[in-house]
Amino acid sequence: MTLQALTLTAAIGIAGLSVPRLGNSIPTSGPADAVTLQTPPATAETLERGKRMFTVACAPCHGTDGRGDGPIASNLQMKPRDFTRGIYLNRSTASGELPTDYDLYHTITTGLHDTPMPSFAQMRPEDRWDIVQYIKTFSPRFADSTEFPLDVLNVGIEVLPSPESFARGRALYLQMQCANCHGVNGEGNGPAAETLTDDFHNRIRPTDLTNPSDYKFARSAVDVFRIFSTGLNGTPMPSFAQSLSDTDRWHLANYVWALQNTDQYMDNQTPASFSK
């Protein structure tokens, strides 16, 4: 497959994706696949198959040894992830922890929007699961029993979006200094925006929260809740799980989600109009 074909797959994968809202739990299903958080332990056959798939589908960018240095990598502005460090942005686990197998499966399925990382929604689910097991072998962290059990996020009781929730969310947004990076109105232009780097020494930009296509992962308010609760490991984006209650995090998630859906939720008002 060419790079363009891969990117196209990514676009289709994302457009065709709907994340169901499961109330109290993390959305556990990607597209149509029935998936669970439990995965069978890796066998030698799983790893052999995973390696074969990885070599064809992933190594061109991520490198045969998973170091992020495949032949295509030098042509990309954004570096493919080096898997040897076990640092993953997209997780349902506490800040600093490893991702669950399902988190990795989810990333492979959806891809990361607006990055070279394509969606593999068209790949057979069993092949995606084999790759999940295989990429874990690149980092010794996954074999270290002290890393487990993982602390999987509980999203509490959902608060429905409303003008009151947006106003509370707006106040929390300013109080928690999201604006320092994401800007007062969420446009990704806060005072710290120009100075940020990630743990791999690459420049990193805070997301323009008003622009749906600037989001790598979030496709629903619950995703937004998850992202600022778990933080994005390896980036300056911190976790706010300790500093805010579940309810306040729902208000904040509703507000942030409304920023990119102003016509639907905000009646076309500006974010600042929700300031008290």
Taking the complex as a whole, how short is the minimal distance between the CB of residue 263 and ligand HEC, in angstroms?
A: 19
**CA 260 – CA 76 distance, rounded (Å):** 28
* 218 near ligand HEC, judged by CB under 6 A: yes
* Residue 267, burial from CB neighbour count under 10 angstroms (0-12, 13-18, 19+): exposed
Taking the complex as a whole, how short is the minimal distance between the CB of residue 28 and ligand HEC, in angstroms?
A: 17
* 89 near ligand HEC, judged by CB under 6 A: yes
Greatest alpha-carbon span in the chain: 60
- Report which DSSP code applies to 36: -
* 228 near ligand HEC, judged by CB under 6 A: yes
* 104 near ligand HEC, judged by CB under 6 A: yes
- Residue 27: strand, helix, or coil: coil
Neighbours of 258 (CB within 10 A): 26
| Binder of ligand HEC out of 14, 42, 86, 120 (CB under 6 A) | 120
* 85 near ligand HEC, judged by CB under 6 A: no
181-205 per-residue burial string, b: 16 or more CB within 10 A, e: under 16: bbbbbbbbbbeebeebebeeeeebe
| Binder of ligand HEC out of 105, 142, 166, 215 (CB under 6 A) | 215
* 216 near ligand HEC, judged by CB under 6 A: yes
* 178 near ligand HEC, judged by CB under 6 A: yes
User: Which among 82, 26, 77 has a CA at the least distance from the CA of 229?
Assistant: 26
Chain positions contacting ligand HEC, by CB under 6 A? 3, 6, 57-58, 60-62, 72, 76, 78, 80-81, 88-90, 104, 107-108, 112, 115-118, 120, 131, 135, 176-178, 180-182, 192, 196, 204, 206-207, 209, 215-218, 224, 227-228, 232, 235-238, 240, 252, 256
